[in-house]
Structure 1
Amino acid sequence: MDTIAVVLAGGVGTRLYPASSRERPKQFLALDGERSLLSRTVERVEPLADATYVLTRPEYADLVPDHAPDAEVLVEPAGRDTGPALVYAAHRVRDEVGECVLLNLPSDHRVGDGFADPAERALRAARETGKLVTLGVEPDRPATGYGYIKPGTDRGDYFDVAGFFEKPSTEAAERYVYDGFLWNAGVFAWTPEALLDEARRSDLAPLVESLDAGQPERGFRLVEPVSVDYAILEGCANAAVVPADVEWDDLGAWDALARVGDPDAAGNVVAGNALTVDAEDCVIATDEGSHVSVVGVEGLTVAAYDGRVLVVPTEDAQRVREVVARLEAEEE
């Protein structure tokens, strides 16, 4: 049974405005190095897979070969979040490859050493049991921006899933970490048939029926945007989790650079062209054509790309999506 990697590269990454935009989403950026996040992800999974597919939207399809030249490009009819995307990928890969096991993962996460071992255990569990298997990262802090998984019965290589819990309050996150819950990293292993069988019992059933009939565009019109967690996993009795003790960050917002970057003596993380004077614990990011000077401030994120500048307290980095929503409303 072949192993096929499916790398999701259709998101926009609005919380990393102005670096990430609809024209240049974050997976094609090199936020913490010289190579793009997509390129690093494909390199990470290629040793584990017999083939790699990159799933993306039509408007990004031409960008993929520059970052993943050896990968096949799958183009979903429209952006509908990870639920429809992963169902579409499973159906397409099954038709092209036949019987296989899929390793599905986002293109825009930062993952440290040690990923291969838990990924291989997840693939083995999916192959041998027919379960929908997720990687659960062992948390190093009570993060409120991630979903959590409660492990159930220990089955050796994996645990049954006792529950999925969405982004919690600070108090709940502290309790989850104390009780041994795991972060939901959005990395999944399953056979195409296992996922499609569960999808047929969910709100994504019209999509599966349309795909069976050779009408993917119709199927995407019939379903609402929904994550695979909400659509399938949370109501599934056939889910399993493999713990992964690896450094991991979803690089979802600017505060992630403060966690994964290389700070100077004053705690500033700089990616680009910048000058700091009496500044502490700031995140500064620019494109090649911009220069930022930061003087006498603390705890700010300053990002300058394409003539647009963002200034926000780093602790409020999640609110950047509000800026994008306002800007999009003004353009309509």
Structure 2
Amino acid sequence: MIHLVLLSGGSGTRLWPLSNSSRSKQFLKVLRDEAGNHVSMVQRVFGQIRKVPADVDITIATCASQEYSISRQVEGAYTLVLEPERRDTAPAIMLACANLALEQKADADDTVIVMPIDTYAEQAYYDGVVKLDEAVQSGFAELVLLGVEPTYPSEKYGYIVPETPEGDLRRVARFTEKPNENAAKQLIAQGALWNCGVFAFKLGYLTELAAKYLPVNDFSQFRDRYSDLPKNSFDYEVVEKAGSIGVVPYSGEWMDLGTWNTLTDEMADASAGRVVIDESTCENVHVINETGFPMVVAGMKDAVVVATPDGILVSSKEASTGIKAQISQAAESRPMYEQCRWGEYRVIDSSVFPDGAKALTKELIVRDGKQLSYQRHAHRGEVWTVVSGAGEVVLDGLVQQVRAGSVVNIGKCQMHAGRAIGSDLHIIEVQQGEILAEEDVERFGEFWEE
């Protein structure tokens, strides 16, 4: 049995404003499948994994904010392991392996292969898990990596330097992290491979390492003490300390679609949304408009234009890889739009008044048959105005019917929830208080039984 652990993390800031902390790049449906349907990176990867000629089960290691997106996009059997907090790849992989051993009762001698969930590669890349499994089971090394044969001297990737430049399975001599172009050329001449973040090992190998930090025999205890694990990457915490490391080379298409210049090369369409492009004056331009306003683009070349509720980006494709500082300065600290298990919300306005009072206005759309969790806020009150649809609202255990025109006042620390009945429920929510943050919520499950 091969246990495939897929890591799904990251805030997607390099693809701002289309992606954010709640809508990461791997869930954006900007690619197309063989039938021409729009698919996300996650859906493309799962389609390829299903074709691997081996007995493979899947565990997804991710954070709570991505749970809904995964459930909406991934079909078939898989196990979801949620991090209590974000602590880098080493603890995330340890948590997934603890789940395999303690919850799924996997054998200590089974092969575990860790991969990013959003890699853009050929089918042969995913079929390579079979070679990795064979290498692990042969006892060749404690850890076996997958290395990509470089196509150019990249300064963006780390390099795996093998002892010998030939063979289907090579011993690793050392690693070099993001060299300059001249150094990269020398490494490639020595047979070095790109490190693509794929690790293979026997389950028992990692559970023994994790036991040094958390010596528990119960998964819930392991998860409860997650913060005791080192906040470090798997490369630094595990790989660099391994006694023996092997690498299996992969030759074929492999890309990180994490920047606008790489993503637009693979996007199915040059524009999306209310967009008019002057084809006579534009060349190699990609435009995405998620606002309700029309957009006209003219006289641009090798550029990307993106407008969403979170912000607007206009950049050359080349420069888009180096604007992290500018995005950090411009981007809001909270997402302005998010899809949730119950529906979606959009921030309409955020204001601070002369007397210091704060207000935030949101549009909530609760889908028919869905409900908001039973919750309360410590630092704010809310006013709900129903503008469309019908349903029920509960305040401190008392249920009332609501419809278009209904107004509900929710006090600070007051328990409340709402659900849609018969149609989608559209609510304008006005928050008032000293702290208006998504983190100011204490949830108590669902009030109504499904």
Normalising by the smaller structure, the TM-score range is 0.7 to 0.9
- Per the TM alignment, residue 245 of structure 1 is displaced from its structure 2 partner at its CA by 0.8
Contact 2:310 2:331 in 1 (8 A): no
* Count of residues in correspondence between the two structures: 320
Aligned residue in 2 for 1:302:
305
Q: Does 1:37 align with 2:36?
A: no
Q: Deviations along 1:159-216, whole A, 9 cap, x unmatched?
A: 111112212222222332333211111122212112234556xxxx42x436768533
Contact 1:103 1:188 in 2 (8 A): yes
Q: 1:93 to 1:256 in 2, by over 3 A?
A: same
Q: Which amino acid aligns with 1:97?
A: K
Q: 1:307 to 1:221 in 2, by over 3 A?
A: closer
Q: Which runs of 5+ in 2 are unaligned?
A: 33-37, 335-436, 438-450
Aligned residue in 1 for 2:105:
97
Question: TM-score, length-normalised on structure 1?
Answer: 0.85
C-alpha distance in 1 between matches for 2:151 and 2:295:
32
Q: 1:292 to 1:163 in 2, by over 3 A?
A: farther
Q: Does 1:325 align with 2:328?
A: yes
Q: 1:121 to 1:93 in 2, by over 3 A?
A: same
- Out of 304, 311, 316, the position equivalent to 1:313 is 316
Q: Which structure is higher in helix share?
A: 1
Contact 1:161 1:241 in 2 (8 A): yes
Aligned residue in 2 for 1:265:
none
Q: Which structure is higher in strand share?
A: 2
Aligned residue in 2 for 1:145:
156
- Per the TM alignment, residue 259 of structure 1 is displaced from its structure 2 partner at its CA by 4.1
Aligned residue in 1 for 2:116:
106
- C-alpha RMSD of the superposition: 2.7
- Per the TM alignment, residue 231 of structure 1 is displaced from its structure 2 partner at its CA by 1.4
C-alpha distance in 1 between matches for 2:321 and 2:231:
21
C-alpha distance in 2 between matches for 1:112 and 1:39:
14
Residue pairs, 1:266-277, within 5 angstroms: 270-273=270-273, 274=275, 275-277=277-279
Contact 1:28 1:37 in 2 (8 A): yes
Residue pairs, 1:171-210, within 5 angstroms: 171-198=182-209, 205-206=212-213, 208-209=214-215
Q: Which secondary structure does the structure 1 equivalent of 2:46 belong to?
A: helix
Q: Deviations along 1:243-298, whole A, 9 cap, x unmatched?
A: 00120111111121244357xxxxxx725244144233444344485765432233
Greater Cα offset, 300-309 or 244-253: 300-309
C-alpha distance in 2 between matches for 1:292 and 1:168:
41
Q: 1:286 to 1:143 in 2, by over 3 A?
A: farther
Q: Deviations along 1:74-133, whole A, 9 cap, x unmatched?
A: 112221121111111112112213212112111111111322443211111112215211
Q: Which runs of 5+ in 1 are unaligned?
A: 263-268
Q: Which amino acid aligns with 2:145?
A: T
Q: Does 1:57 align with 2:63?
A: yes
C-alpha distance in 1 between matches for 2:240 and 2:225:
22
C-alpha distance in 2 between matches for 1:290 and 1:184:
43
C-alpha distance in 2 between matches for 1:242 and 1:284:
39
Q: Deviations along 1:53-94, whole A, 9 cap, x unmatched?
A: 222111222322222122221112221121111111112112
**Which of 1 and 2 has greater Rg?**
2
C-alpha distance in 2 between matches for 1:198 and 1:221:
16
Greater Cα offset, 248-257 or 217-226: 217-226
C-alpha distance in 1 between matches for 2:231 and 2:68:
24
Greater Cα offset, 225-234 or 174-183: 174-183
- Per the TM alignment, residue 21 of structure 1 is displaced from its structure 2 partner at its CA by 0.7
C-alpha distance in 2 between matches for 1:143 and 1:258:
19
Q: Which secondary structure does the structure 1 equivalent of 2:157 belong to?
A: coil
C-alpha distance in 2 between matches for 1:234 and 1:280:
46
Contact 2:291 2:307 in 1 (8 A): no
Answer 1 or 2: higher relative contact order, Cα 8 Å, separation at least 6. Answer: 1
C-alpha distance in 1 between matches for 2:287 and 2:184:
28
Q: Does 1:9 align with 2:8?
A: yes
Contact 1:132 1:195 in 2 (8 A): no
Question: TM-score, length-normalised on structure 2?
Answer: 0.64
Aligned residue in 2 for 1:238:
244
Q: Which secondary structure does the structure 2 equivalent of 1:303 belong to?
A: strand
Identity of aligned residues (%): 28
Q: 1:180 to 1:158 in 2, by over 3 A?
A: same
